[in-house]
Amino acid sequence: MTALLIERKAEAWKDVDLRAALQVRLGEHHQRYERLQNKLHERIVVFCQKLELQQDGKPHWIASDGTINEKERKKFFKKLSRNTRGGLNAEQYRDLLIDIDRDIHKLQELTNGAIRLEPIKIEKKNKLQSAYWQNVRDQAQRLYDSLSSRFLPCACQHCHQANLRLDIRRDSNADEDAARFAFLLTFEKRSQPAPSPPWDWRDIEIKSSQLTTTSAATTASQVSTPGKKNARFATPAIGSVASQPTPSRSPSPGLAAKIDSLCRVLVAAHQQDHCLGVLEDQDWQHHVFSVAGPASTSQISEAASLNDIIRSGGRIAARQKCTLALTLASSVLQLYDTAWLPRAWETSHIFFLKDRGGNVIPSQFYVSRTFTPAPQSAPVAIRRRLVKNEMVFALGVALLELAHGVSISSFERPEDLDDSGRADSMTEVSIATRLARELNNVESENYARAVLRCITFTFDTFAFDFDDREFREAFYQSVVVPLQEDYNYVTGVKA
């Protein structure tokens, strides 16, 4: 700010971050603002030269520390030619000052206009965000239904398991491809019948697109190819920052067709960055890609839940804690009311992978579903007073346990129990509320406020269900955005 306003250095306006911020704030008017600013700077420089002022606009007899050299001041005004020239050029000076004043007024109008439009722009952006998260959630449920219909039952007679990777998703360009979902597929390891499963682990990604007509036939030309565009969501795509950017996939003409048996196709899925084919479900196509991942590099030894890691007492570094916190908050928006994440979810539902050395593979978090003839029993969600959304409350509890490195039950006090001195359904609420109000003593303000909102439901909304657009927007702005800011800070990512 000193270089901009006091020293008035022209090169300061060329700062990349400043120009990006101006573009965000002023939109299509940012180039006009820059032109006006440059013109204003040129006029001020000319005015200073005509009045024989220093570059910062101060007379030569005033030093940088503000002291006045009286001898130099008297000498300056005593010169007759300078006084005469000033009188003769008074009209030029006046016109120049009028031009400077006009430029300032135009800049003020531009900034005031941007300020007036800011609420409208924010509301429009929030609506697009809300619609996008709704679409992502619907896509996640469609993918579960699609996989379930193919793996249950399966000719291989084994119980398939799909591990959905939890990715952080950010604002992106509407021209980019629709969001992809990454999966690590395997089989249930317990009680496997003979013979052994046809394959062990497979890394795949699935991108869904809606057909424009239900009668369109699935052919190789319908799969993503360079230079061609497919059907996609109408809302802007949001790219994953938890994983590396996905390279463009080149389909194989022999495989890029309708997949009848996904299990059989995965037997020979050894080629990476390759389209295996298309799963068809009514008006939707799900393009399946074989990709590089933990399975392709034979890293996987076993899986461990987030609950196991927290209870083991292992220290979670700040960077990984911020990554996990943002991933969990983002995942609640992506997976609410789907088969992937139960309403009464816990840290035991979030999985890490361990390599053959017993080390956790970083930045790889999953939720898992096993496709068995007997439906998997989900935890029964007990309605509790003060808890207006169990999924959001569960997020708050998970963030508290991440912050403290232990289960919140470790902080149980007598006042958290019922009249008989036993834990009941409200014990967890009592502990979580107390810890959330004290969290600002040990965590960042963004983290502490996000947790407090999840536990006490201070969202300033009438509804607290994710089907409500206003609540989705409030959750995103009040929980996801603050955690995103912390994540950006510790990872060095620029917003």
Block means of pLDDT (10 residues each) for the chain, 495 residues, are 58 73 71 81 81 76 80 76 66 84 82 65 73 91 94 89 91 55 89 78 92 50 42 36 45 62 86 86 91 79 87 82 95 95 94 84 89 68 83 97 94 93 93 96 95 96 93 94 94 76
Show the tokens assigned to 458.
Answer: 């201070």
| DSSP secondary structure letter of residue 62 | B
Q: How many CB atoms lie within 10 A of CB 484?
A: 24
In the beta sheet, which residues pair with residue 238? 171
Helix, strand, coil fractions of the chain, as percent rounded to 5: 45, 15, 40
> Exposure string (b/e) for 255-264, b if CB count within 10 Å is 16 or more?
bbbebeebbe
Question: What does the alpha-carbon distance between residue 241 and residue 317 come to, in Å, rounded to a whole number?
Answer: 19
Question: What does the alpha-carbon distance between residue 414 and residue 429 come to, in Å, rounded to a whole number?
Answer: 14
DSSP calls for 167-201:
--EEE--TTSPPPEEEEEEEE--TTPPSS--S-S-
Task: Using CB atoms within 10 Å of the CB of residue 322, give its burial: 0 to 12 exposed, 13 to 18 middle, 19+ buried.
Answer: buried
- Which amino acid, one-letter code, is at 203? D
Can you give the pLDDT at residue 362?
Answer: 77
The answer to whether residues 239 and 176 touch, using CB atoms and an 8 Å cutoff, is yes
Question: What does the alpha-carbon distance between residue 434 and residue 437 come to, in Å, rounded to a whole number?
Answer: 5
Residues with Cβ < 8 Å from 48, sequence gap 6 or more? 54, 55, 57
- Which amino acid, one-letter code, is at 105? H
For residue 460, the SS3 value is coil
Q: CA quadruple 332, 338, 340, 345: dihedral positive or negative? A: positive
The answer to whether residues 395 and 328 touch, using CB atoms and an 8 Å cutoff, is yes
Can you give the pLDDT at residue 75?
Answer: 78
Question: What does the alpha-carbon distance between residue 288 and residue 150 come to, in Å, rounded to a whole number?
Answer: 13
For residue 240, the SS3 value is strand
Nearest to 330 by CA among 132, 131, 133, 181: 133
In the beta sheet, which residues pair with residue 281? 284
Can you give the pLDDT at residue 361?
Answer: 81
Longest dimension (CA), the chain: 109
Can you give the pLDDT at residue 240?
Answer: 39
Sheet of strand 180-187: strand arrangement: 250-251, 274-281, 284-290, 202-210, 180-187, 160-165, 360-371, 351-355, 300-305
Nearest to 307 by CA among 370, 345, 350, 278: 350
Question: What does the alpha-carbon distance between residue 295 and residue 302 come to, in Å, rounded to a whole number?
Answer: 11
- Which amino acid, one-letter code, is at 251? P
Show the tokens assigned to 226.
Answer: 């360079």
Q: How many CB atoms lie within 10 A of CB 223?
A: 27
Q: How many CB atoms lie within 10 A of CB 438?
A: 13
